Amino acid sequence: MSTWGLVPPLALDSRTYPSVFKILGMLALRRCLASRTVSLRSHSLWPLRRNCRPINLLIRPQSTKAIPSQSIPTDQRVKHSPKNILIVNKLRTQPVVQAIGAFLQHVNQKYPGVTVFHEDRDDKPPGTEVWSPSSPQQIDLVVTLGGDGTILHASSLFSKGAVPPVLSFSMGTLGFLLPFHMDDFDKALESVFVGKATILNRMRLACTFYNNELTRKSQDGDDWQVMNEIALHRGSSPHLNTIDIFVDGQHLTEAVSDGLIVSTPTGSTAYSLSAGGPIVHPSLSALVLTPICPRSLSFRPLVFPSSSIVTLKIGERSRSPAGISMDGRSSHILNPGEFVVVQASPYPVPCINRSSIISSSDEEQMKHSEGAGPGKEDDWVRDINNLLQYNATFRSKALLRHSRT
């Protein structure tokens, strides 16, 4: 008999292989989750897996495939002039209304062949077309006006596929994702249309939820795409969560805490940073695991490569369910025995860099100064100093004031 006495080896043919290995994989996962170890090397299934890769619904969801970090280019240029532009803005205060009006007037005069779209909302600006994620029109450029939350909302609009290049303008709120001021929108647009704009691909996370029966909790079958982080938390419950953490199929630890955060490098400077997580440069492809008020003093934040698959399972002994927050949006409740699989999404968010719109006069001046050359200035380094005031002492405050001028 073969492994676990299911099917005699001679009875297998090419048509029965997929079904048999799917059954073997599911049985192995049930057995492993019950004992909090999913290292397939410890089971007799491993010799079969080396040759025929069984289907594993828990470790690798069907609709999203984790990809190595080398396959996602981190810095490239916008190659084609946009034909369709989508405006995503925060609530229309008077400054936002004026900014959108000036933007639309500029686009109509200088780029008459461009169509501008907007979400189907009550504050849709006049002169724009209605667009929704189900619309057939392909968006070539996303222009956001607002804070960091506006970019996160724009990312959520493209949860089923690739995200167009994102050109973000700050409207009173400075953050890590807002490289441009609204006064520079004409130069920023020109750099896009002439092909000088460079982009930084900020990775996203694909999150899939499963119940006790190892079937998806989501009815539509789509994975959630998050740009900052997914957070499991105890919500209003007075009890701590007990969460089993699996990394690439191996049990890492049992976390007893207020919750856990799995963030991208972009999200490392958001909720994860407040919880004591590390600061990670956005050009890296990595997953950051940060505990929220753990009961153990030895539970420190961890950084995994983007090829890792992290599974967070609510322990059977957990006295309360865990609420799920993804990019600040509440979505699911995980009860004991249920779990979420988190891995790198194949669809990053391409954000246009501020350094790509340096004027010719600035370029000539930078040739005779120290630091990075034109088009190579690191926006993140500037933000980490000016916005976070990273490691700012009394002595260096004068340098910070000088760098803003």
Active-site positions?
148
Instruction: Give 64-92 as a DSSP string.
Output: -----GGGS-SEEE--S--SEEEEEESS-
Q: How far apart are CA 398 and CA 176, in angstroms?
A: 22
Count the residues in the chain. Answer: 405
Quote the tokens at residue 315.
């322990």
**Alpha-carbon Rg for the chain in angstroms:** 24
Positive or negative torsion for Cα 8, 13, 17, 23? negative
Q: For residues 244 and 187, what is the distance between their CA atoms, to the nearest angstrom?
A: 50
Which is it for the CA torsion 387, 392, 397, 398, positive or negative?
negative
> Residues 147, 323, 263, CA angle at the centre, nearest 5°?
50
Comparing C-alpha atoms, which of 76, 103, 105, 78 is closest to residue 89?
103
CA angle 376–99–157, rounded 5-degree value: 70
Residue 92 Cα to chain centre, angstroms: 27
Contact 356, 198 (CB under 8 A): yes
